[in-house]
Structure 1
Amino acid sequence: MKVIKRKVLQNIESNTKYYACTFYPQSKKYFVQNSYFDNCSFRNNVYFESLKKCTFDNCGFCEHASLSLSKMNIRSFPKYICHFTFLSHLDLSGNKFELLPCLEQLSNLKHLIAPSSPNNHFHDLPNFPQSVLKLKNLESLTISNVCGCPAQLAQLKNLRYLNIREAQLQMFPWTLLNLHNLTHLCLSSTDIKSIPTEIRELHNLTHLDLGCNNLSLLPLGIFELRNLQYLGLRSNDIIEIPDHISMLTSLRYLDFSFNCISGVSRSIEKLCHLQKLLISNNNLSWWKRQCLKSWLKNCKIHDNSHYMPNLDEEYRTEAFKVLD
């Protein structure tokens, strides 16, 4: 094994022992295995794709230390991760296993994308992992294929981005109303049938995605979210765009595609900042679609039934621009 002492480096290699080295990592992902770091300092943000059989003793890191094991077809939780208490970002997406309790040891973790459950049967989904609820510094959480939303989630007071999707919720989780720092909330494909008016308490929300649920009515509380810029309501059972839509004066992106909408209030023309409206696959008449175009002259309107954007990806990309 190669040994390097007291050097200033940019590259990070596998099968190497580093002693008292100073690293200025480049903006790329490092695949590192079987290396040892003793009294080393990482002066830039660092992004790892693997740290298997690596050890860090008395090392210092910048604010951003990331490990991404996304889409590596991992079938069991890599226990070595729990020794890397310096991690601020952890991406386990695209794998299928349940999280283990040792995750709570990552006390510095701020951003977590959890793996999917290995059980694909909707009625046999696992409960929300308790280990996640102990990550008090967490600011961003993406999790899917879970059953329920525990009250303890309200303890994660630092959460700004929360994405719970393809989960068995059915009811809006009231505990989320205690997360007053939330700016991004996604509850798509969770079988939710109604939203409480009290959602207005999440006054910092800028992005709200409630797509692919069973919503037919929208409470007044949604229209009191004055900072909202993104509202996703794709694939629900909504029959009209109400007068109250005009209250969302900060709105830039609005998706009502794949609903049952036949009526649109003219008050929508007051959304002077609206840049994109998705309204395809509804029951709007030709005349009503023409009215929309005249009311929203500066807005890009998609009313083509064949247009199917990847909203989840667009939402997530936009959200992480804010958080990173």
Structure 2
Amino acid sequence: MRLNNSLQGSILLARHNLTELRNLELDVNNFTTIPNSLSSCSELEVLKINLNHLDGPFPTAICQLKFLQHLDISENNIGGILPACFSPPHMRYAKLSKNRLQGPLPHAFFNWTRLQILDLSHNQLTGPIPKWFDNLSILRILLLNKNHFEGEILSQFCNLSELSLIDLSNNSLSGSIPPCLGNITFTPLLGNLGLPRSGVVLRAQDIMVEELIESVTKSITLVYRGNTISAIDLSCNNFAGHIPPKIGKLFHLKSLNLSHNSLSGTISITFANLTAQRT
């Protein structure tokens, strides 16, 4: 079910005839609220309500969608703290960017072991990046930029061996850049990102990765296509110390941005290995 119009008001869902609905796309409208009756769509796997006018706290009705795999509620006015109940076990793609979310990341995210893309950018999230992030072992894309995260990047973060792109820019992170980031290959994202039971293939091209993966480097906006995503952006933070030589061995990287920090020392000769070209 897809509605891309100028509809407005509340989303009205009839309890008696949507129990088998698996794909609901209401993006690019003027809806303002998500009803509690959304929880009756118990088989829902894809929910897109981005680019609306949703207001208030995170809709707890979404917590009841146990089969949800693809969620996009970006570019709304949803505020407050993410509830602990938000922990769908099958989630693969979550885009909550450009809202007004606040507070630390809930421990419930620990259970998102199938997650491959997480976009929480352009919010007001605070606190450190949690230790449990390494439980997201197949995460490919992580966007936490333009929030208020602080503290150091912990070594557990380096266990995200499947990463293709990480953007932590425009936060208040500090400490040194972990040398173990050089152990992640950052190979370009290729192929299928999952197959929900409804038959909707979550490939890069199907989930608007071009909109998702947008990075501003030196006032130049870079938009990565599905098969060229491979980047690290740690700019506009408070990182100090030297740049680990291991970073220079990430020859798959298409983009590396460490600007606007307090880094010092020399640049290792290993950085001559960064020869990949952005296409």
Q: Work out whether the TM-score is over 0.5.
A: yes
Tell me what 1:268 maps to.
247
Q: 1:256 aligns with which of 234, 247, 266?
A: 234
Q: Deviations for 1:125-172, whole angstroms, at most 9, x for unmatched residues?
A: x23222212222211112351322222222x21111122332433212
Residue type matched to 2:36 in 1? P
C-alpha separation in 2, matches of 1:268 and 1:76: 49
Q: 1:160 aligns with which of 76, 86, 92?
A: 92
Trace 1:192-231 onto structure 2 (pairs within 5 A): 192-216=126-150, 217-231=152-166
C-alpha separation in 2, matches of 1:257 and 1:292: 20
Instruction: Tell me the SS of whatever aligns to 1:212.
Output: coil
Q: 1:129 aligns with which of 43, 59, 65?
A: 59
Give the drift of 1:96.
3.8
Give the drift of 1:178.
1.1
CA contact (8 A) 1:196 1:221 kept: no
Tell me what 2:110 maps to.
177
With normalisation by structure 2, the TM-score equals 0.69
C-alpha separation in 1, matches of 2:79 and 2:5: 19
C-alpha separation in 2, matches of 1:70 and 1:222: 38
Higher relative contact order (CA 8 A, sep 6+): 2
CA contact (8 A) 1:212 1:236 kept: yes
Instruction: Tell me the SS of whatever aligns to 2:124.
Output: coil
Trace 1:107-122 onto structure 2 (pairs within 5 A): 107-114=42-49, 116=52, 118-119=54-55
Residue type matched to 1:143 in 2? I
Residues matched between the structures, number: 226
Give the drift of 1:224.
1.0
With normalisation by structure 1, the TM-score equals 0.60
Give the drift of 1:214.
2.2
Give the drift of 1:281.
4.6
CA contact (8 A) 1:225 1:248 kept: yes
Per the alignment, do residues 244 and 75 of structure 1 end up closer, same or farther by CA in structure 2, a change over 3 Å counting? Answer: same
Trace 1:277-288 onto structure 2 (pairs within 5 A): 277-282=256-261, 288=267
C-alpha separation in 2, matches of 1:250 and 1:279: 16
Trace 1:52-91 onto structure 2 (pairs within 5 A): 67-70=1-4, 72-79=6-13, 83-91=17-25
Q: 1:103 aligns with which of 38, 43, 68?
A: 38
Is 1:244 paired with 2:180? yes
Is 1:150 paired with 2:86? no
C-alpha separation in 2, matches of 1:245 and 1:74: 46
C-alpha separation in 1, matches of 2:33 and 2:16: 15
C-alpha separation in 2, matches of 1:71 and 1:218: 42
Unaligned runs of 5+ in 1: 1-66, 120-125, 301-324
C-alpha separation in 2, matches of 1:215 and 1:237: 6
Flag the structure with higher helix content: 1
Give the drift of 1:229.
1.2
C-alpha separation in 2, matches of 1:177 and 1:247: 23
Flag the structure with higher strand content: 2
Trace 1:30-41 onto structure 2 (pairs within 5 A): none
Give the drift of 1:245.
1.4
CA contact (8 A) 2:95 2:118 kept: yes
C-alpha separation in 1, matches of 2:24 and 2:135: 30
C-alpha separation in 2, matches of 1:218 and 1:71: 42
Instruction: Tell me the SS of whatever aligns to 1:153.
Output: coil
C-alpha separation in 2, matches of 1:192 and 1:80: 38
Percent identity between matched residues is 25
Bigger Rg over Cα: 1
Q: Deviations for 1:83-140, whole angstroms, at most 9, x for unmatched residues?
A: 4445432222333411012212323321112355554xxxxxx232222122222111
Give the drift of 1:235.
1.1
